[in-house]
Structures are given as structure tokens and as C-alpha cells.
Structure 1
Amino acid sequence: MEKSFIDRFAFWQQKMFPINIGVYVCTDKLWVYAPAQDTKIEQWQSFELKSENWSAGFSAVAKSFPNAQLQLILASGLYQLLLTDKPNVDVAELPQALLWSVKDMVTLPVPQIHLDYFEPPLASNKINVVVVDKAKLISMVQAIHEQNLQLIGISIEELATTNLFDDNQARLVVSHNPGQELLLTVVKQGQLYMQRRVRGFTHLDKALAEELAYGMADNLSLEIQRSMDYFESQLRQDPVSSIELLTDGAVDVLATLISENFNQSVNVIDKSCVGARMAQLAFAECSRGAE
């Protein structure tokens, strides 16, 4: 039934304003963080994602957060991050030049490549290039818009870690999304100074304390040391002030074991789980984008 004439002018009714939420997009799940608002406390929710059915996934998000504005962080399985020489061309020509620079580094045919890039904070002839499947990205964005959700922006795991701290200290962050390769980053002053993926730790979150003590923690310490050596010798930076662990599982045991190998403090980043924390870091990108 149509609303009555007077109902259309019910100015006393509360208006619903869209909220910003952070979404961590994994291959099998959407993790969502929503800040506290009015009478609602901050929320972390996860939504199942089957066979990258974006319509069903974001439909579930829209039911809990109607008309929301989304900032996405893509999990590593949804993109490739490449370091390549920076072409000597004008800024306007850079995307096309980078396309031909990276085409042989990826398995996607050129017409299926969508790319973006960001430069290291230190002067260099290198540039970081993010490559995604264009068709997959379009399908995701269309699914968001079909649910009357708004897309603020899309970022990646490596850049998400720069939202963990807001001081001038250089910190080495060890982050691990269950089932994925380990990610080591060094962040300082909200910028990404270095990043590398390390194989062999796919199931770090499932490792028992005994497994960590008998080799795994020492192997991880070796990879941490390699990253620290690169940061100091190749990038000519002072040593990192701390090592920060963002991983699920027996992380407190892992921190204790790793701390035996370094002078720096080894800290466990506060979280309920990695997926939820990454969604919160996605939300933090909203504020930074508005600066």
C-alpha cells in the first residue's frame, strides 16, 4: 500500500546515514569490521564466500550493513605484487608502459590484466605493480553496486600493514593469513619500506607449541633476520625497533621463542583473529584516504 500523504513528510523519522566499513576479501570468506555508531558497538563479522560468488557474498553483507560504504583489502590469492624497473616515461603513459613490463611475469593474458602501482618511500628506479584479473575485479565491483553498497577503494595486504602504527619507529611485521604464504613487511611512518613473501609457513596457524620449538620458530627467525639485513644493508636504514606478530595459532609461544634470537622486542598484535584484524585495518584506510 502506498504511504499516505502525511507519511511522506514524516520529518521526525530518523534518517539512516551510510556507514563506512572495512572488508577483508579472502577467497572463501568476507571479513567485515564496522565501527561503533550511536547505540551500536563495534562489530566484526564474517560471511561465507563460495566459489567467488560475489553476488551472494555481498548480498549477505548488505543485509547486515545496508547502504554501507566499503573499503576493501584483497587477500594475497586475489592479486600479484611485482617489483619491476620503473619505465622512463611520463606519468600519463606509465600504466601502459608497466603493462608491457609485467606481462611476461604473470599468467594472465594482456587483455585480462588490470594493474595499479605505488612507489617505494625511498628514491629508487624500482616500482611496485599490483596485478589483478580484470574480469574478476569487474564482477566483484558490480556485485557491490547491485546491493546498493558503495565502494570507497581497494587495497592489498602489504599496504594494510602500514595502518598498524602511527609513530616514527620502523617495525618488522610478520603476518599470516591461514592457508597462505607468510608475509614480512617493514613499516615506518605509515609507509611500506619493504615486503617479501616466504614459502614454507602455510600452516603456521596450525602448528603446535612443540613444532614451533623444534625448528619452525628458528626457521622463521632466519627469514626475519634476512629481511632485517636487507632493510639495514640494502636500504641503508637503522635497525627496526620491534618485531610484530600478526598470526593465529600458538602466537604467544612463537613470540617467546623468536624473542630468544633477537635484541628487539617481539610483540603479539592484539586481535581476535587475523581476518578480523585485517578488516579493521581496511577500515583504517578509510580515514587515511580522507586526509
Structure 2
Amino acid sequence: MYAIEVLVAMLISWKDYLTRKFMKPPVGTVVGLAFTAEQVLCSVLRQKDGNVFWEVDASFSHHSWTKSLADFVKQHKLQGAPCYFALTAHWYKMHNIDRPDVADAEVFNAIKWPLQELTSQSADLIYDYADLPANVGGQKKLLVVALARQEVEKLSRAIFDAELELASVSIEEFATVELTPLRQDAIITLVQEHGEEVVLNIVKNRTLYFSRRLKGFENIGTFSEVELDMGIIDSLCVQIQRSMDYFESQLRQAPVKELLLKLDTQFTDFVSQKISTAMGIPCRSFTPNIECGDKLNFKMASFSCLGASYSHFVKQQSETADIAPKRHAEEQREVSH
């Protein structure tokens, strides 16, 4: 987060940056952006009375999105609102690498060299990593994401020019995790942006344990129920079962308890019912804990976009949960005195 802010501050004057930084934002309002292969998607979430509402949805073409976003922000009076953006797979590379045997504070610098061996030596990259909570045979692995510095600079500059506050940069694998229910049991989510690969995540306690992309389903939205039932759903079941087997046998985790689907097809409920019957596991449409505004529904939504912006409220909930026990302890001490 700090590194991103410094990068953006370098692109504009510090005076301009600080002016934007301390601009009074609209209360409880967050802007989410998702950069897909085809377009730039935008969603506006607002918190009211403890609930989160999805109020506005928009899409911009790549060739004019910077101006369109600036106009959109002015139209909806969003100046100063925190902006969270997520990238789809066309923008980055993901690698699993061995965790260096160094102190935690030194991990970031230590992974630079193995990462260079996996990518172009000449590429100027920005990278980040996440520790995986479960590993095969106790061998610690890192999930490392790398993307071109030039692209991040362009996106960051456009967001600040639109008078939004850049809060976070994410990728779709992690953005969609933010939308999952907070529960101990493992769940599988299958999420697909329009015309793209299916992202299969296995999640527990809103933490990513395993992720892979399912190729060959990019055109699933063009098939009828009859066509889906002629082998496509069976192929999905095979890929799901392989992921479950790996999760249970290799990562030594308890079985998955539920499947949540958000696929690029109008027949998601039909697919869910077929998968549930075939695999003997509850399967349903993926419905985040967000209230939809007029003429909006989750079937049309970009979950990368919604997840990126919803992470703002997830973080708030987490911070509140951390503060509550401390406050209770302080109250108990006051009573005892």
C-alpha cells in the first residue's frame, strides 16, 4: 500500500498529491474498477445503516476510459472517494515459488531473483506475494504476482486525474475472495468474467487456499441448457473433482462443503443443480452480502469489480472486530478499579 502511494506521488507533484489525499470524500462511498481484456468496469458501493448497497454500475472502452471515468466521477460527485481496482489475468503473471529461508522482513527482496528467472530479465516489474496457508509436504510456498510497472503507473495516474483516492490494487483471484462468506468450512467458488476463463478458488475463513484457472469454458454463455448438458457440465465436474482431490489429499484439508457459482451464462441455476446432483455437494449461485440497486443484479456484475470495492468494508469489519475485545478489556479494568 505504501509503495503504491509513493509510486503515484512520484507521478504527480507532492502538492497535488497531498491535496487529493486530504480531499473530503463522500461518506461511506467506495469506487471499484476492474480492468478486463474487453473493457473497464466500474461499480459504486455505499454503506447505509450497516448494510452495503451496490448503487451504480458502468463500463468504459479501453481507448477512452480515462476521460469516461473522470466524467463519471464528476457526474456522481465521487471526488475523493477511495478507489479499489482489480486486474484480470491478461495484465499479470502468477507464480508459485519456494519461500526463501529468510526473516519475514527480508522475503520481499529475496524473491526478486527467483522471480526474474521466471520472467523476462528486461521487464520492469512490480510484484507482491502472499503466503499460502497450506502446502504440500510441509514445503512452504509463496503465491507471487508480477505485472508491468508501466501499466500500473498509467492506471494509477488516470485514477488520480479522475480525483479518486487510489486505495488498493488487486487481482481477480483475491478480489473475489472478499465476497465469500466468513465460515470455517471450505467452499469452492467458480467465477467468470465475460468471455474469460473460469477462476476456481478454494476458500476458508475468507482466506485463499488454492486457485487455478479452467480453460475451455470461455464461450459457455453461448450454449443452451441442452448443449450444456451434453458434456460441458460433466467437464466442469471433472475439473472441480480434481481440485477437491488435491485440496484434500495433497494439502490435507477437510472436504469442501459447498460450491458457489458465478458463470458467464444465463443458466447458472441449471448448472448448479446439475453439479450438485452429480457431485453430491450443495451448489448454488454465488450471492454476495450486498444489496443491489434498481435495475442491478449479480448475474450482470463483475465480481472482480465488486470484490475489489467490497474489500473496503471487509477491512472495516475486521478492524472493528479487533477493537471490540480491547475495548471490552479496558471496560473490565475500569470496573475492577
TM over 0.5: yes
SS at match of 1:273: helix
Contact 1:217 1:258 in 2 (8 A): yes
SS at match of 1:58: helix
Contact 2:40 2:59 in 1 (8 A): yes
**Residue 30 (1) aligns with residue 25 (2):** no
**Residue 267 (1) aligns with residue 287 (2):** no
| Amino acid across the alignment from 2:274 | L
- The CA distance in 2 between the partners of 1:287 and 1:41, in whole Å, is 11
| Amino acid across the alignment from 1:190 | R
Hey, what does 1:147 align to over in structure 2?
162
Q: Which runs of 4+ in 1 moved over 3 A?
A: 15-18, 90-93, 108-111, 274-278
Q: By percentage of residues, which structure has more helix?
A: 2
| Residues 117 and 57 (structure 1), Cα distance of their counterparts in 2 relative to 1, 3 Å cut | farther
Deviations 1:61-90 (CA, angstroms, capped at 9, x unpaired): 422333221112222222222111112233
Shift of 1:202: 1.1
- The CA distance in 2 between the partners of 1:229 and 1:23, in whole Å, is 34
Contact 2:130 2:144 in 1 (8 A): yes
Matches within 5 A, 1:133-282: 133-163=148-178, 164-249=180-265, 250-270=267-287, 271-273=297-299, 275-282=301-308
| Amino acid across the alignment from 2:299 | C
- The CA distance in 2 between the partners of 1:94 and 1:16, in whole Å, is 35
Query: Unaligned 5+ residue runs, structure 2?
Result: 1-23, 288-296, 320-337
CA RMSD of aligned residues (A): 2.3
| Amino acid across the alignment from 1:230 | Y
Contact 1:122 1:193 in 2 (8 A): yes
Contact 1:33 1:42 in 2 (8 A): yes
Between 176-185 and 97-106, the greater mean CA deviation after superposition: 97-106
- The CA distance in 2 between the partners of 1:229 and 1:115, in whole Å, is 30
For 1:70, which of 79, 83, 104 is the aligned residue? 83
Matches within 5 A, 1:47-66: 47-51=59-63, 55-63=66-74, 64=76, 65-66=78-79
| Amino acid across the alignment from 2:283 | V
| Residues 166 and 212 (structure 1), Cα distance of their counterparts in 2 relative to 1, 3 Å cut | same
Between 62-71 and 170-179, the greater mean CA deviation after superposition: 62-71
- The CA distance in 1 between the partners of 2:129 and 2:53, in whole Å, is 36
Shift of 1:224: 0.3
- The CA distance in 1 between the partners of 2:260 and 2:53, in whole Å, is 27
Shift of 1:37: 5.2
| Amino acid across the alignment from 1:144 | I
**Residue 118 (1) aligns with residue 130 (2):** yes
Between 152-161 and 216-225, the greater mean CA deviation after superposition: 152-161
Identity %: 26
Q: With the length of structure 1 as denominator, give the TM-score of the two structures.
A: 0.85
Count of residue correspondences: 274
For 1:127, which of 139, 142, 157 is the aligned residue? 142
| Residues 212 and 99 (structure 1), Cα distance of their counterparts in 2 relative to 1, 3 Å cut | same
